[in-house]
Chain A
Amino acid sequence: MRNSPLVSKALLGLALMAGRAAAQTAAEQQSSLAAEHFRQVRELYNQRAWASSQARAGFPWLEFAPSGWQGEAERTDGGLLTRHFKRLEPAQSPRSFWIELHVAQTSAKAQETLIGWLAGVSRPQALPSTSSWQLDVGDVGFVGPSGAGDKAIAWLGFVRGNIALRLVATDPTREPTLEIGGLAREFDQAIRSQRILADGEQAPTNQIELFSASKVDAIAGERIPLSLLFAPSMSAARHFDWTVGGTGQGYVEQDSSGRYVLHTTGPGKIELAVAVTGALGWTSTRSLEVLVSDD
């Protein structure tokens, strides 16, 4: 494809985006009916009475696994970190559960994430709280009971300080006795063991000090080495999510020396973004543009 058929749409989209904040919030997307639904959910679950503990410095999402389990990071999206878990033994165990994690700036934002999970429930009746199931996890939490077995749990969501966590049983019909409650306790304990943020301490969300391309004009087919420098405070363990946007085309891979390289595969303006999530779950993002000419 020599021409870029979506140029007009893309330009329109970029123009629209230019007038917005970079990240689209749920509030911007919500219809009036959705806003009313969220209000009802807050009332249904009595959000005003929710407890709130101190904010933590993060959660070791890339490393932590409950005893006897191993995790695999899936991806990050809009601050939601996803990781799947399977048992260490037997070796070929299927994925048993996954987590959605939001390390938020404030406990209020973490609670909004929990509200979002609750607002997604179609059943009109409120879900039981974790405390009503004798599960002491989080400042506040709720349980999605599964019909797969007595006391089986399909998912459990809770907030501890500024951290919202949802554990979801991959298939409760396959593992009706999976101890989601016990697993949640282990996660909660790990959260509680994290350092409490000092008053006025800023969350480390700007840890990319340099993001540049070796050239910003290229012919389609060229490979462009990228440079990334991180703040000294950035952990060595990192998760990268690359997004190639704009009208141009390409992809990012590491070369044999471990350096990231943008492979250009189509003409247009590439808007390349990288989201790097550190070991404690804070995401830093940077972007740059490369103009790619036809080959």
Chain B
Amino acid sequence: MVVKRVLMAAACLLAAAGPSRAQVPVRTPVAKPKLLCDQVTTVADPKLEGGGVALSVRAEPPTFVAGASLQILQGSSVVATPWSGDLPSGAATPIVWDGRDALGKWLDTGSYTMRVQAAGVVTVELPLHLVRLGIREMEFQDSLGSNNEFPMVYFRKSGTYQFYATPAIHEYLNVQEAGELADLDMNNGDPRSVVPVHTATDMPVMEGANYDDDRYNYPLAYVQGSAPRVEVTFGSSACSKAGVAISPGYPVPGHEIRLQAWVASQVVASSAPIQPGGTALLDLVPLPSHLSRSEVEIEWKWQTRSGESAPWSDILGSTKTTHRFYTLLGEPNFKANPNGTQYAGPWVEVCEYMTTWAQALGLFPADAATLTQTHVQGFFGQTSGIPAALEGVKYDAGPLGGDSGSNRYFSSSTWRINLSSWLNNHAGGPFVNCSDNMGATTTMLSMLGVDNVRPMRLGGMTLKAIWGIGAPAYTTNLWGSGSHGFSYHHIVTDDNAQTVSDTCMQLDEDGTPGATPGIPGWNHRRPWLGIGGYRDLSAYNTVSYSLETLPGLY
């Protein structure tokens, strides 16, 4: 009898060892009904979302079996009895176990035996391997053969301004803090929750007064149309019932495990067999081919097989992480500081502004012209869907409460724009002048990947009607004293003055540009020369210009 039971168990085990959830025929003694175990889980991580151990039990020939039970054994000790009940005649009984014992404690990773037994039938024993699967970090990389992924930058740290580039070695990190035992589990054994996207645009994730260094999920920046590549690193420790760090329980002898990435219910990538603490490189689906912000949910699923030629079968459950991708026009252009800083500036906030403006304007910027249009209309605001100028600023003129067109954010001596202060709810005040606008526009467009953006300095101007940023209407009396001109003006070009852009003011396109009221004419890549050009519509005099170098920022 003992020998027969062992043979039956072995048969059940062999059947289960093929496709891990295949039907397992069980030979029974002639005189007794036999049990069939279908859809048997062999490798399981009950801590995954939707995870657990599943099997289906029925008697053959169809017979009512009273008082059956499922026991989990570690060696010869019963450590859990997740199910007991009757098996009805002619119908399979599905059993799902959540991996916990009678006290609700998670069972440790390791090898177990599942025993299904009842009086009058032969006991069935099946192998079970509890493992702990999870991702501790993700490093988003360039697509193969490209340079198209870039760290993003935050600009605030508590009450101060500090630039913080998102870590290149892992933009997603989810590991134990000091005092915690394992990277995949909390100290009570519960699974460590996934990290939501960090949605603040000014400050990175903080842990007290310092940057968080164990748990974050930062947004990502790619050139439009890129297919992100991600290197995931698998967790290497779990937490036991006894409250100590233990192995994740794999590799399982005779079994391989791999990771799959699913996006929108489609599998997009599968890894090679994985190891705890090891890595896998996966290529994801292409991002939009225009400036955008998108939230992509990736469902991470694991599969197992019992040999190289065996088919892969799903391990129950999954983990879902969401990632925020900004797509840029091209490689960002940062002005190096004296010691070579590249990753500087309130970049996340700029990306957020620009993508929000594009959405409000119904634009899909995929080239410099459309991106500049998005920037100019969004920055100036006071248009459909964008009621105010960037951070609520207004032109520095006496009639608006300011003074004489003074710069508050741009420094001509350091040749830098204090974009951080401006984007911190205009901390330097609501008034701006043309140099402030030039500094913000050149640096913001450059960050988004527009090339060759440069300041264009104009000489003195006797102005026609203009509508200043943040002003209620057109004016021919800018300073309120009958004076209506500039000692100089700063605008922007990306094609060496063939066309120009200006977020500081709008020109009048109603046919009488010297008189109010006016019809707004956006200055995004407006021709410099010619009828209707910037020089024609802005001033009565012949305005001279010279090109200058891209400012730095802080």
Measured CB to CB, the residues of A under 8 A from B are 1-6, 9-10, 13-14, 17, 22-24, 26, 29-34, 36-37, 40-41, 72, 74-75, 77-80, 84, 95, 98, 112-113, 116-117, 119-125, 127, 144-148, 154-155, 168-173, 176, 220-221, 242-247, 249, 251, 253, 263, 265-267, 271, 273, 287, 294-295
Contacts and interface: CB of A to CB of B under 8 A. Distances in A.
Contact of A124 (B164, B210, B485): B485
Contact of B165 (A34, A123, A168, A266): A266
Contact of A246 (B160, B339, B421): B339
Contact of B168 (A10, A266, A271): A266
27 contacts: A2-B142, A5-B147, A10-B336, A17-B336, A23-B338, A24-B338, A33-B458, A36-B459, A37-B488, A112-B413, A116-B413, A119-B412, A120-B407, A121-B404, A121-B487, A122-B396, A122-B406, A145-B404, A147-B397, A154-B431, A155-B403, A171-B430, A172-B403, A245-B337, A246-B342, A266-B151, A266-B167
Nearest to B548: A31
Contacts of A253: 210-211
A80 B411 contact: yes
A271 B340 contact: yes
A171 B480 CA distance: 19
Nearest to B148: A5
B511 interface: no
Contacts of A251: 162, 164-165, 211
Interface in B320-353: 331, 333-334, 336-343
Contacts of A72: 159
A247 B398 contact: no
Contact of B231 (A2, A116, A155, A265): A2
B418 to A, nearest CB: 8
A212 B312 CA distance: 54
B408 interface: yes
Contacts of B83: none
Interface residues of B, number: 84
Nearest to B397: A147
Given A3-B141, A172-B401, A123 B487 contact: yes
A8 to B, nearest CB: 8
B193 interface: no
Nearest to B490: A122
B479 A123 contact: yes
Contacts of B549: 29
A122 B405 contact: yes
B410 interface: yes
B457 interface: yes
Interface of B, helix, strand, loop or mixed by DSSP: loop
A245 B336 contact: yes
Most buried by B among A3, A36, A77, A171: A77
Nearest to A170: B429
Contacts of A147: 397-403, 480
Contacts of B383: none
Contacts of B149: 1, 5
A258 to B, nearest CB: 12
B64 interface: no
Interface of A, helix, strand, loop or mixed by DSSP: mixed
B227 to A, nearest CB: 15
Contacts of A40: 487
A75 B421 CA distance: 10
Given A31-B457, A121-B406, A5 B142 contact: yes
B416 interface: yes
B428 A170 contact: yes
* Closest CB pairs A-B (n = 6): A122-B405, A266-B168, A147-B398, A78-B414, A265-B167, A173-B401
A6 B407 contact: no
B169 A265 contact: yes
Contacts of B413: 26, 78, 80, 112-113, 116
B169 A295 contact: yes
Contacts of A30: 548
B231 to A, nearest CB: 7
B517 to A, nearest CB: 22
Most buried by A among B168, B401, B434: B168
Interface of B: 139-142, 147-151, 159-165, 167-169, 171, 210-211, 213, 231, 331, 333-334, 336-343, 396-408, 410-416, 418, 421, 427-431, 433-435, 457-460, 479-480, 483, 485-489, 544-549, 554
B287 to A, nearest CB: 15
Nearest to A221: B169
Nearest to B336: A13
Most buried by A among B140, B148, B404, B457: B404
Nearest to A149: B401
Contact of A249 (B151, B486, B546): B151
A13 to B, nearest CB: 4
Contact of B483 (A112, A125, A266): A125
B538 to A, nearest CB: 13
Contacts of B429: 168-171
A168 B408 contact: yes
A75 B546 contact: no
Given A80-B414, A120-B412, A249 B160 contact: no
Contacts of B140: 1
B165 A265 contact: yes
A129 to B, nearest CB: 14
Contacts of A17: 336, 338-340
Given A26-B413, A29-B415, 5 more contacts: A9-B333, A34-B488, A122-B488, A170-B427, A266-B167
B337 A243 contact: yes
A34 B398 CA distance: 25
Nearest to A4: B168
B175 to A, nearest CB: 11
Contacts of B488: 33-34, 37, 119, 122
Nearest to B166: A265
Contacts of B458: 33
Contacts of A77: 411, 414, 416, 418, 554
A170 B427 CA distance: 8
A207 B410 CA distance: 29
A33 B545 contact: yes
B345 to A, nearest CB: 13
A14 B341 CA distance: 10
A172 B405 contact: no
Contacts of B487: 37, 40-41, 121-124
Given A95-B427, A127-B404, A169-B429, A75 B339 contact: no
A187 B144 CA distance: 59
Given A75-B160, A154-B406, A266-B168, A6 B414 contact: no
Given A31-B547, A120-B433, A249-B343, A75 B554 contact: yes
B168 A14 contact: no
A122 to B, nearest CB: 3
B398 A145 contact: yes
Given A17-B340, A24-B415, A124-B460, A74 B403 contact: no
